[in-house]
Structure 1
């Protein structure tokens, strides 16, 4: 009965909530920020605020502009005469954490520059856990493309060796930045050399199964109920050619973090959620076939399938194995 009432209430509101509230974003970055570390640069660029993939594919030119920044750090043994591969790194829905920086430091020690994409901070948002509408995958993918376009012109960056990685929500960015309809809509000259999504949400299956030709590898835990591994395995099985997956036994979401196993009370459990995305980027609910192209409709779609309270936390064995895999994967494909 509660769901029926909620559904009725939602449809009453749809007419007056048909688009993202353009006033919620703030360009909080400043071009006057100074970083004293000679190996570190804080770089600013222009992006936009598309709510959905459909906004990118069908209406990109009309999206509200957004100033974004990221932090570029050169490898530990930097020589200003050389060019280096770079990894664009994208955090999850709770923002940047200690374990993310552990990876970035490892990459720099192995001769790879890192670019910490600050999509949340640039928009004045600290977390999207439990809502997933303030900063979306679409926004962050566009940010990552604009970062790529900037980095490929950098005097010390090897433009042919720009990779992307991310965790959870950022893992979705690392995964779907390879999707060809988005690539064609934003800039088909952008070609990430490698995609390394770590526990990404795979509950959306596109009707167009074209993720380019660059290598993609998903790392995820067997017991992940926040972004379930089964959905990722299904996607990998359907795609086949340039994508692979490693599923770590007895590992939960954020298995590579430094947190004990905990419950995130306001997070989504997505085990029962499966959606289909058409060629225009519209994700459709698994009932009524309604496109989830606004914050309100997305919340409705998740309400009908998701539960609250996923588990997350460290698995010592999986953390070590994933860390070593990431080093080998990126050094192999960024050369």
Structure 2
């Protein structure tokens, strides 16, 4: 019987095998406005992932599932793979998507990946993963949630907008729920219509990459668009409380000062210069101007992780398990 109650996830599962490498048909649009415009603007790509199936999952016993999106550092065993193993151990299938791994020919290295592998590509793999899972007989197609961490959490939020879902899944597949772990709220949609699937936003009170006021505004807009949003803030937490590094350390470039607007036609623009995020050149210019070189703090915090896991299980249980947990 599926169960998302604590203790969850179990750190003892870190590093264990159990997933199966899979590939699925996806695409690589640079921008949201490129989606659906043919192979030149949205070339075919083989999406890559690790699929974790619970024991007993079958056509006679289809199980709920989650699609998991990594952050800017890529797939981590301590985070994405641990959650996937624990979901499977609790009776929920998990597909960890490796967006960067599927596009190694496009970019390598941290900075180049972020310039050339875009949110639109993350979204393409997320919806392609949803389509793949929904077609598998051992998966309950109506109970598939999307979970993202940091960069992937930002994408999990975008996927809750109807405008996005209609572009990537015009045939009607939709996620049953969305979860964003410590996701920067740097974009607002002119078209605030939502898919109706609920969203859970989790972030730390000391996370310099997350602007609480803008996250509140995004939540309000999505609620006006037709969905419910639950926000939980952990006052003492910094970024990536479930990552590999114990103790706090400064990393990266901070995106908190970036401001983007997603127009109704899918064009993403910088709010200050109104430049379109339509090419690697423009993306480099825009991000170069709005990011802060001082970076932000990350730090593993097992107490916060346990609290967030409890919140995650409580949020997902009535959606994926029909209240069983």
Q: What is the CA RMSD across the aligned residues, in angstroms?
A: 2.1
- Which of 171, 187, 194 aligns to 1:204? It is 187
Secondary structure of 1:332's aligned partner: helix
Closer, same or farther: CA 191–80 of 1 in aligned 2, 3 Å = closer
Measured in 2, the distance between the counterparts of 1:172 and 1:216 equals 12
Closer, same or farther: CA 77–126 of 1 in aligned 2, 3 Å = farther
Contact (CA 8 Å) 1:50, 1:60: kept in 2 or not?
no
TM-score relative to the length of structure 2: 0.84
TM-score relative to the length of structure 1: 0.82
Structure 1 segment 163-174 matched on structure 2, within 5 A:
163-174=145-156
2:320 aligned with 1:334: yes
2:142 aligned with 1:155: no
Name stretches of at least 5 consecutive residues in structure 2 with no aligned partner: 1-16
Structure 1 segment 14-33 matched on structure 2, within 5 A:
none
Q: CA deviation at 1:271?
A: 2.6
2:239 aligned partner? 253
Q: CA deviation at 1:142?
A: 0.7
Closer, same or farther: CA 193–220 of 1 in aligned 2, 3 Å = same
Q: CA deviation at 1:215?
A: 0.8
Q: CA deviation at 1:145?
A: 1.1
Contact (CA 8 Å) 2:100, 2:113: kept in 1 or not?
no
Measured in 2, the distance between the counterparts of 1:66 and 1:150 equals 14
2:84 aligned partner? 104
Give per-residue Cα distances to partners, 1:132-165, cap 9 Å, x unaligned.
2232111011111112112111121111111110
Closer, same or farther: CA 150–79 of 1 in aligned 2, 3 Å = closer
Structure 1 segment 116-265 matched on structure 2, within 5 A:
116-124=96-104, 128-129=110-111, 132-188=114-170, 189-240=172-223, 241-259=227-245, 260-264=247-251
Measured in 2, the distance between the counterparts of 1:126 and 1:96 equals 14
1:82 aligned partner? 61
1:5 aligned partner? none
Q: CA deviation at 1:291?
A: 1.3
Give per-residue Cα distances to partners, 1:183-212, cap 9 Å, x unaligned.
111223111011111112211111111121
Closer, same or farther: CA 80–184 of 1 in aligned 2, 3 Å = closer
Contact (CA 8 Å) 2:203, 2:234: kept in 1 or not?
yes
2:244 aligned with 1:289: no
Give per-residue Cα distances to partners, 1:262-317, cap 9 Å, x unaligned.
111xx221232222211122221222322121122122222222212221112333
Q: CA deviation at 1:226?
A: 2.5
Closer, same or farther: CA 284–216 of 1 in aligned 2, 3 Å = same
Closer, same or farther: CA 116–126 of 1 in aligned 2, 3 Å = farther
Contact (CA 8 Å) 2:49, 2:96: kept in 1 or not?
yes
Measured in 1, the distance between the counterparts of 2:61 and 2:268 equals 43
Q: How many residues align?
A: 295
> Runs of at least 4 residues of structure 1 off by over 4 A?
76-80
1:30 aligned partner? none
Q: Please say which structure displays the higher CA radius of gyration.
A: 1
